[in-house]
């Protein structure tokens, strides 16, 4: 027998008469009521209502909005996906708009029009349901995949990045990839190039931090014969070589200010002049750049031009660290192990259980590049056919932030453990169940509950 569970609606309102009116009006919902911020937060933690109506005038500031905005901020910090509908008096439109800018879903005016508020509430529930389903689809664990033809991953976090790259590939806009060193920025740039209409053209990469400042201009713009001592022949620069293709500027934050001006002029006019040259040369190329630096802070400090930043950062893609991609460390480690063992014709077959546990526990400050280097060294140095933890030279663990409540903590822990076990067991259900200390049916039930796929 199916029992219909009503969706939970939290009403944060200190007027008892209005509480009763709203409770009576919304018979289709499981209505929860709170009269102040503490009660609202406790109810949010315990019941996790998808939609909240919030009166901004709460005690101890019933005639102001400070307590209401503090409550809104707390709700959205704990459960950002919650749809909060704020109440606004006749002359409080400014507060309502401020609440929307702070993350509220919508607002309604007092005195309350039950039908109008009911429509806003229904739409909020519908939108929350759609967003929840989208998140579930994104969190499904699939087989190890190569996305964009270059990057091995099974993490929803990287799948989301890949979808963004695929979506912008054919638009022609400039793309800036932000991420820590070793997260795979150049791989993603190459993937973007291959997915674009410029795939038949060249992919030209230059690391702006690896070239001395006095040589970087010549590398980018080229030079004519006799332009300076040692210029014995005309040389095309990287920008010119990327005509018809993609130019990847890695560590773009290291370009010196005088050269930033010249690069900006090229981006505006799409024409270059070689050093020592007088002839303008039109260049048609897509710009993709990357950096691990905080460019907005560099702009404030006067070391990076704001106008250049906005030319380069038409689309910004943030790349998660390896520690933020549960299960990927084990998948990538296995991928690198087989790759290097095959390349070097070594008899390495896999990882010992302790090695995989060490890989899962490590925080990976150097990200994928560090993982690749450690696995390569371990494949070379291993004394047996299985790479051991000591071959990887790993130790220590990382910590995670506290979730909204115990139920959420348990779910997150279950998901993370299952994803790591599946990755470590190479998607073998029996082996993963054994690693988790549970039966196959129990693991299947948990995977079904969390919508995880082997």
Tell me, yes or no, whether 164 and 309 share the same domain: yes
Q: How many domains does the chain contain in total?
A: 3
Place of tokens 């200390």: 437
Q: Yes or no: say if 154 and 141 are a contact pair by the CB < 8 Å rule.
A: yes
Q: How confident is the model at residue 403 (pLDDT cuts 50, 70, 90)?
A: low
Q: How confident is the model at residue 297 (pLDDT cuts 50, 70, 90)?
A: very high
Q: How confident is the model at residue 149 (pLDDT cuts 50, 70, 90)?
A: low
Residue 44 lies in a domain: yes
Top-ranked range on mean pLDDT: pick from 230-234, 258-262, 362-366, 413-417: 258-262
Q: How confident is the model at residue 377 (pLDDT cuts 50, 70, 90)?
A: very high
Closest listed residue to residue 106, CA positions, set 167, 183, 51, 27? 51
Residue 2 lies in a domain: no
Residue 256 lies in a domain: yes
Q: Yes or no: say if 235 and 218 are a contact pair by the CB < 8 Å rule.
A: yes
The number of angstroms, rounded, from the C-alpha of 402 to the middle of its chain's C-alpha atoms is 19
Q: Which of 117, 138, 159 is the last residue of a domain?
A: 138
Closest listed residue to residue 285, CA positions, set 167, 412, 189, 377? 189
Residue 143 lies in a domain: no
Domain that holds residue 387: 323-450
The chain-wide mean pLDDT, for the chain, equals 86
Tokens linked to 26: 């919304």
Q: How confident is the model at residue 198 (pLDDT cuts 50, 70, 90)?
A: very high
Tell me, yes or no, whether 69 and 99 share the same domain: yes
Please provide the DSSP assignment of 371-421 as one string. HHHHHHHHHHH-SSSEE-HHHHT----------SSHHHHHHHHHHHHHHHH
Q: How confident is the model at residue 41 (pLDDT cuts 50, 70, 90)?
A: very high
Tell me, yes or no, whether 225 and 168 share the same domain: yes
Q: Which residues of 120-136 are buried (b: 16+ CB within 10 A; e: fewer)?
A: bbeebbebbeeeeeeee
Tell me, yes or no, whether 40 and 163 share the same domain: no
Which CATH number does the domain housing residue 340 bear?
Answer: 1.10.8.60
Tell me, yes or no, whether 312 and 328 share the same domain: no
Tell me, yes or no, whether 255 and 370 share the same domain: no
The per-residue pLDDT for 401 is 44
Residue 232 lies in a domain: yes
**Average pLDDT estimate for 386-402:** 66
Q: Yes or no: say if 180 and 292 are a contact pair by the CB < 8 Å rule.
A: yes
Per DSSP, which regions of 122-265 are E strands? 145-147, 151-153, 175-178, 203-207, 246-250
Question: How far is 69 from 77, CA to CA, in rounded Å?
Answer: 12
Residue 144 lies in a domain: no
Which CATH number does the domain housing residue 26 bear?
Answer: 3.40.50.2300
Tell me, yes or no, whether 177 and 75 share the same domain: no
The per-residue pLDDT for 98 is 84
Does residue 276 surpass a pLDDT of 60? yes
Q: How far is CA 148 from CA 19, 104, 176, 331, 341, in A?
A: 53, 36, 17, 17, 25
Q: Which of 138, 157, 190 is the last residue of a domain?
A: 138
Q: How confident is the model at residue 151 (pLDDT cuts 50, 70, 90)?
A: confident
**Average pLDDT estimate for 258-279:** 93
pLDDT tens per residue, range 217-247 = 999 999 988 878 887 888 899 999 999 999 9
Tell me, yes or no, whether 308 and 346 share the same domain: no
**Average pLDDT estimate for 168-193:** 92
Element (H, E) at 215: helix 213-221
> Within 10 A of 91 (CB to CB), how many other CB atoms are there?
7
Tell me, yes or no, whether 126 and 183 share the same domain: no
Tell me, yes or no, whether 284 and 301 share the same domain: yes
Element (H, E) at 132: helix 114-139
Residue 3 lies in a domain: no
Tokens linked to 110: 């007092």
Q: Which of 138, 160, 187 is the last residue of a domain?
A: 138
Q: What is the pTM of this model?
A: 0.57
The per-residue pLDDT for 168 is 92
Peptide bond into 111 cis (omega under 30): yes
Tell me, yes or no, whether 159 and 129 share the same domain: no
Q: How confident is the model at residue 142 (pLDDT cuts 50, 70, 90)?
A: very low
State how beta strands 350-351 and 386-387 pair.
parallel
Residue 32 lies in a domain: yes
Q: How confident is the model at residue 28 (pLDDT cuts 50, 70, 90)?
A: confident
Which CATH number does the domain housing residue 156 bear?
Answer: 3.40.50.300
Tell me, yes or no, whether 339 and 368 share the same domain: yes
Which of helix, strand or coil describes residue 144? coil
Does residue 329 surpass a pLDDT of 80? yes
């Amino acid at each position: 027998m199916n029992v219909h569970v009503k969706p939970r609606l939290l009403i944060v309102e200190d007027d008892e008469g209005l509480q009763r009116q709203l409770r009576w009006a919304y018979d289709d919902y499981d209505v929860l009521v709170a009269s102040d911020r503490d009660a609202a937060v406790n109810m949010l933690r315990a019941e996790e209502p998808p939609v909240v109506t919030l009166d901004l005038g709460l005690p101890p500031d019933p005639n102001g909005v400070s307590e209401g905005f503090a409550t809104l901020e707390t709700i959205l910090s704990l459960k950002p996906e919650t749809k909060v509908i704020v109440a606004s008096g006749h002359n409080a439109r400014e507060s309502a708009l401020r609440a929307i800018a702070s993350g509220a879903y919508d607002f309604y005016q007092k005195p309350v029009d039950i039908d109008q508020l009911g429509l806003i509430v229904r739409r909020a529930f519908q939108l929350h349901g759609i967003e929840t389903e989208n998140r579930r689809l994104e969190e499904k664990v699939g087989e190890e995949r190569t996305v964009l033809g270059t990057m091995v991953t099974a993490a929803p976090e990287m799948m989301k990045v890949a979808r963004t790259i695929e979506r912008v590939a054919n638009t022609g806009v400039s793309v800036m990839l932000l991420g820590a060193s070793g997260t795979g920025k150049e791989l993603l740039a190459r993937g973007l190039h291959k997915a674009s209409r410029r795939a038949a053209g060249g992919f030209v990469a230059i690391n702006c931090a690896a070239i001395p400042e006095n040589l970087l201009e010549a590398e980018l713009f080229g030079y004519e014969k006799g332009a300076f001592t040692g210029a014995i022949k005309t040389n095309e620069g990287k920008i010119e070589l990327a005509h018809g293709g993609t130019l990847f500027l890695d560590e773009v934050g290291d370009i010196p200010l005088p050269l930033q001006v010249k690069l900006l002029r090229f981006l505006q006019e799409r024409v270059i002049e070689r050093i020592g040259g007088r002839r303008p040369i039109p260049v048609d190329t897509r710009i993709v750049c990357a950096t691990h630096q905080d460019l907005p802070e560099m702009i404030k400090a006067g070391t990076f031009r704001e106008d250049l930043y906005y030319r380069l950062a038409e689309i910004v893609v943030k790349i998660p660290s390896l520690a933020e991609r549960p299960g990927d460390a084990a998948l990538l480690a296995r991928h690198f192990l087989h790759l290097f063992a095959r390349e070097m014709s070594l008899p390495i077959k896999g990882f010992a259980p302790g090695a995989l546990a060490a890989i899962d526990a490590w925080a990976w400050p150097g990200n994928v590049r560090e993982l690749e280097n450690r696995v390569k060294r371990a494949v070379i140095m291993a004394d047996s056919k299985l790479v051991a933890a000591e071959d990887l030279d790993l130790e220590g663990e990382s910590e995670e932030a506290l979730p909204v409540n115990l139920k959420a903590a348990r779910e997150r822990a279950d998901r993370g453990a299952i994803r790591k076990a599946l990755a470590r067991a190479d998607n073998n259900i029996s082996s993963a169940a054994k690693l988790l200390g549970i039966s196959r049916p129990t693991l299947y039930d948990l995977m079904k509950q969390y919508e995880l796929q082997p």
